[in-house]
């Protein structure tokens, strides 16, 4: 999974490191990322200097195992024009592989910065605090501070008589096979979120909900929390069509071909575990 590739410690303890040539300066626009055209690699500080970047625009966001990551809140067109634009999915394949966790985490933080340019209390502009990873209101009478937000979301592998429930989303154009998932609501426990999402999306009931694992998932600003659960009652699926176009029961041998050889995301890691007869619920 994305957090298991190596160099998996993201440190957001705030420091003001002097950028080194091998550090990264990640440039985004909305959900797109800019890469070096000749190599397809993410821009380093050496690239930033070569492109004529101004150091006063660099915002330090974290350290990943000795490498510093910076971003730029409002990059000049002159810089972006020298780079190649890719959609955020590109970060799933970026090399070296340990950069996948760092670059997706940088995207998460960039989007949070973008969505907090103005103060929610008084409407004045906000700017990076400079002492900690936070945005601070520039209005002297307000000084509101806001910290990066993480949205918890559950994933659940539902097992029944040696089969697993696989779903396909109706939200995406070419959906891959997945598991039931959804964001927590205020006031819920993980278990009540699991039961509610399963009931809403499929009409099914589950029991014996067991925590499995979790991962940061910056593509959607989320922390994904995985569970295994057993079906109770009827196995007849009633689809919530705004969310799912398909859901069905599969034995390990019937599961469609793997989405990725070494899945980055918890959903596909759990599906591959079931295919290999290694899911806790299969023991």
Other Cβ atoms closer than 10 A to 29 = 13
Contact 27, 86 (CB under 8 A): no
- The total of other beta-carbon atoms located within 10 Å of residue 208's CB is 12
- Answer yes or no: are the C-beta atoms of 150 and 233 closer than 8 Å: no
Q: How far is the CB of 7 from Zn ion (least distance, A)?
A: 37
Q: How far is the CB of 115 from Zn ion (least distance, A)?
A: 15
Cβ contacts of residue 132 below 8 Å, gap of 6+?
14
Question: How many angstroms separate the CA atoms of 186 and 189, rounded?
Answer: 9
The answer to whether the beta carbons of residues 136 and 143 sit under 8 Å apart is yes
Output 36 or 144, the one with its CB closest to Zn ion.
Answer: 144
Q: Min. distance of Cβ 122 from Zn ion in angstroms?
A: 3
**Integer Cα distance of 243 and 245 in angstroms:** 7
Of 121 and 149, nearer to Zn ion (C-beta) is 121
Continuous H helices in 118-215: 190-202
C-alpha–C-alpha distance, residues 257 and 261, integer Å: 10
Straight-line distance from the first to the last Cα atom of the chain, in angstroms, rounded to the nearest whole number = 22
Of 116 and 163, the one with the shorter C-beta distance to Zn ion is 116
Minimum separation from the CB atom of position 14 to Zn ion (A): 21
Per CB under 5 A, residues contacting Zn ion are: 119, 121-122, 124, 137, 139, 142, 144
Q: How many Å apart are CA 207 and CA 257, to the nearest integer?
A: 28
**Between 46 and 144, whose beta carbon lies closer to Zn ion?**
144
For the record, the structure tokens of 94 come out as 């970026």
Tell me the torsion sign for CA atoms 70, 71, 77, 80.
positive
Question: Is the Cβ of residue 139 or residue 223 nearer to Zn ion in the bound state?
Answer: 139
CB of 208 to Zn ion, least distance (A): 48
| Nearer to Zn ion (CB atom), residue 37 or residue 125 | 125
8 or 139: whose CB is closer to Zn ion?
Answer: 139
* Shortest separation between residue 125's beta carbon and Zn ion, angstroms: 9
Report d(CA 127, CA 130) in Å as an integer.
Answer: 9
CB of 137 to Zn ion, least distance (A): 3
């Amino acid at each position: 999974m994305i957090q298991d590739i190596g160099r998996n410690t993201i440190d957001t303890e705030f420091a003001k490191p002097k950028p080194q040539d091998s550090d990264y300066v990640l440039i985004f626009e909305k959900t797109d990322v800019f890469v070096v055209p000749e190599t397809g690699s993410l821009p380093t500080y050496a690239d930033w200097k070569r492109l004529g970047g101004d150091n006063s625009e660099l915002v330090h966001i974290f350290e990943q195992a000795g490498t510093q990551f910076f971003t730029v809140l409002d990059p000049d067109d002159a810089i972006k024009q020298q780079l190649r634009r890719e959609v955020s999915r590109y970060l799933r394949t970026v090399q070296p592989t340990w950069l996948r966790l760092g670059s997706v985490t940088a995207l998460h933080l960039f989007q949070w910065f973008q969505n907090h340019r103005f103060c929610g209390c008084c409407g004045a502009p906000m700017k990076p605090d400079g002492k900690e990873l936070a945005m601070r209101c520039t209005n002297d009478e307000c000084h509101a501070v806001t910290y990066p937000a993480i949205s918890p979301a559950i994933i659940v592998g539902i097992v029944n008589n040696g089969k697993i429930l696989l779903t396909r989303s109706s939200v995406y154009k070419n959906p891959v096979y997945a598991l039931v998932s959804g964001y927590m609501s205020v006031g819920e426990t993980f278990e009540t979120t699991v039961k509610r999402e399963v009931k809403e999306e499929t009409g099914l009931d589950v029991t014996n909900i067991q925590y499995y694992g979790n991962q940061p998932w910056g593509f959607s600003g989320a922390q994904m929390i995985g569970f295994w659960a057993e079906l109770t009652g009827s196995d007849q699926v009633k689809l919530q069509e705004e969310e799912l176009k398909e859901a069905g029961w599969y034995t390990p041998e019937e599961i469609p071909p793997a989405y990725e050889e070494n899945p980055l995301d918890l959903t596909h890691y759990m599906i591959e575990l079931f295919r290999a007869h290694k899911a806790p619920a299969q023991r």
